[in-house]
Structure 1
Amino acid sequence: MTMASTDRRSLLAASLALSAGAIVTHSAAGAQATAPGSDLPVPTPDPAEVIELWPGGVPGAPDPLPAEKITQRSTDPALSDRYVERTATPRMVVFRPQQPNGAAVLLTPGGGYSRVVIDKEGYELARWMNARGFTAFVLFYRLPGDGWQNRADAPLADAQRAIRLIRHRAAEYGVDPERVGAMGFSAGGHLCADLSTRFAHPAYQPIDAADRLSARPSAAAPIYPVISMDPAIAHAGSRDLLLGPNPSPELEAAHSPDRVVLADAPPFFLLHAEDDNVVPVANTLRLREALKTAGVRVETHLFEVGGHGFGLRGTTGKPVEIWPELWRAWARTTPLG
């Protein structure tokens, strides 16, 4: 590692610091509140370990590069809620557990493909994963409306490259390369599903030895995900930013994971609230049907109440608060163990 790359990673870290398958439906009956803070990991300083995905330059970069910006939405100093816009340096922030269990999870937060949420669907989940032995990698992926060439494949290329880099450096992190999963939320759930159905698609030109490795996750968990690019049920903002104006039917189909499922897709864990008024639950149902048709393992949980974007912090007192433990129990039946 050169001194220049070390300094650059330190600056990136500092910038973040500043700113199978029956459906299980859960009703609101019997909801119980948890003790304050019982489900959220204790906040700790942001990790300083950052892995840049493209050390030789980001493919298809616009000139000039987007001007990256981090915004803090929270007014509570004890509860951070940041997001980043105009990702200029695609990267992973690494969360290492004290007692690694040998498995890793790539986390792709949401943000409607206009931003990447940092805390609620990224760092909080990473710390939750760490407490259970998983090494977590939070992905800051390119946003397709920022001028990148081949805009629809830019986030997918970052996710593919991220999985390959985790496998390439598995020994460094105490990770089994056959135990690398993916979890994503909302638009990040679309990216997780896109990755998990199109892992073999050549989204970028190989650049080094890592790119000889598979980009197929060992298990996938799109949570309240954007899935279909069908205007009838698509999240309009995500669709417009990902595909651009007047997309062809072929492009729309290629980036609708429910339309490109193959039998070699990894096992899936799907979760959605039926009262989600941002991303219709029909997105998850379409993906479930496609996975079942292809013979892919899938476990599906639908909750009557939960809304959209709940992550960990928005679940207290609702049946949906059990979702992380449902995922953990399911993960034990997959290569994640």
Structure 2
Amino acid sequence: MKIKRLLFMAAVAAFCVPLSAQQSFETPLWPNGAPNSNGDPGDTAKVKVFLPKKETATGRAVVICPGGGYSHLAMNHEGYDWAPFFNNMGIAAVVLKYRMPHGNKEVPVSDAEEAIKLVRRNAQNWNIDPQDVGIMGSSAGGHLASTIATHSTGDALPNFQILFYPVITMMPDITHKGSHDNFLGPDPKKKDEQKYSNDLQVTRVTPPAFIALSDDDHTVLPANGVNYYIEMYRHDVPATLHVYPSGGHGWGNRDSFIYHKQMQLELEAWLRSF
């Protein structure tokens, strides 16, 4: 009986971890109901928050948008697997499970904007500087992240952006067709294709960017990320572009990517530069 009591007390102590320790938790994005619908009531948005130890926290946070062609989400290697990398740098990682658009572009956009606002609303409790909140996305998640970076304003505008092999344009000759059709619908208006071609939406107030992709990416053409970098350069927005000789598409934070360590070192150096 005494041993059982000791085990119980140990379990309680382990559960009641002080806020200064590294922790993660999940929370719905729209507890009172989302402002728009994609026609699928079972597709709900939520975030999983990974906070660094309080004593090592820098105050920086990044909202992570996994890819998946706006049809599904690669939650692990483009989402959760990034948390240790950021936490080890004292950066909070907030992985967003956004809803699929099914042709209603406002659905994922509103989810990503709300995720940024959620982080800022909880900045004090989560030891975050509300003026140091970035957004990151891979593939179609890169399109969502760059959409927020170029279209959003006020509390929804991030302070920096990190893009991996991103879909940037919605113009039919360069875009990723699956992402295009799922985001805008199969027969969109030309003005919407232009509006959500984010290289065309860069301005002098667009937040700084880290862009990384592979030269042999045949899924999302490298021109997407390259053209975005060119527009950042033209508008005097700080940006860095890393094009790796090989790796294809979708490597995320996988060790199997031949340039995995180099990519992490370059991203870490960039994050420490401001």
TM over 0.5: yes
| Residue aligning to 1:210 | none
| Residue aligning to 2:101 | 144
CA contact (8 A) 1:184 1:190 kept: yes
Whether 2:117 is the aligned partner of 1:164: answer yes
Secondary structure at 1:283 match in 2: helix
Pair 1:301–1:62, CA change in 2 (3 A): closer
| Cα root mean square deviation, aligned | 1.6
The unaligned stretches of length 5 or more in structure 2 are 1-22
How much does 1:333 deviate? 2.2
Secondary structure at 1:286 match in 2: helix
CA contact (8 A) 1:315 1:321 kept: no
Q: How does 1:107-122 map to 2 (within 5 A)?
A: 107-122=64-79
Secondary structure at 1:246 match in 2: coil
Secondary structure at 2:77 match in 1: helix
Q: 2:31 aligned to 48, 55, 78, which one?
A: 55
Whether 2:52 is the aligned partner of 1:97: answer yes
How much does 1:101 deviate? 1.9
How much does 1:299 deviate? 0.7
Secondary structure at 2:116 match in 1: helix
Q: Which amino acid aligns with 1:194?
A: T
CA contact (8 A) 1:144 1:155 kept: yes
Whether 2:264 is the aligned partner of 1:324: answer yes
Distance 1:295 1:232 in 2: 27
Q: 1:227 aligned to 168, 173, 188, which one?
A: 168
Whether 2:255 is the aligned partner of 1:300: answer no
Distance 1:62 1:144 in 2: 6
How much does 1:51 deviate? 2.4
Secondary structure at 1:55 match in 2: coil
Name segments (4+ residues, structure 1) moved above 6 Å.
none
| Residue aligning to 1:32 | none
Distance 1:177 1:220 in 2: 15
Q: Which amino acid aligns with 2:36?
A: G
Identity of aligned residues (%): 37
Distance 1:235 1:269 in 2: 21
Q: 1:191 aligned to 137, 140, 144, which one?
A: 144
Distance 1:127 1:291 in 2: 29
Q: Which amino acid aligns with 2:266?
A: L
Deviations 1:132-170 (A, max 9, x none): 21111000001011x7xxx11211111111111101110
Distance 1:254 1:171 in 2: 35
Distance 1:96 1:60 in 2: 29
Larger RCO (CA under 8 A, 6+ residues apart): 1
Distance 1:280 1:53 in 2: 32
| Residue aligning to 1:65 | 41
CA contact (8 A) 1:109 1:185 kept: yes
The unaligned stretches of length 5 or more in structure 1 are 1-46, 67-87, 201-212
Distance 1:260 1:62 in 2: 25
Q: Which amino acid aligns with 2:268?
A: R
| Residue aligning to 2:10 | none
Distance 1:221 1:63 in 2: 30
Distance 2:73 2:40 in 1: 20
CA contact (8 A) 1:164 1:214 kept: yes
Q: Which amino acid aligns with 2:143?
A: H
CA contact (8 A) 2:38 2:101 kept: no
Deviations 1:241-295 (A, max 9, x none): 0010211111001111101111111101111100011101000111111111222
CA contact (8 A) 1:305 1:320 kept: no
Q: How does 1:198-217 map to 2 (within 5 A)?
A: 198-200=151-153, 214-217=155-158
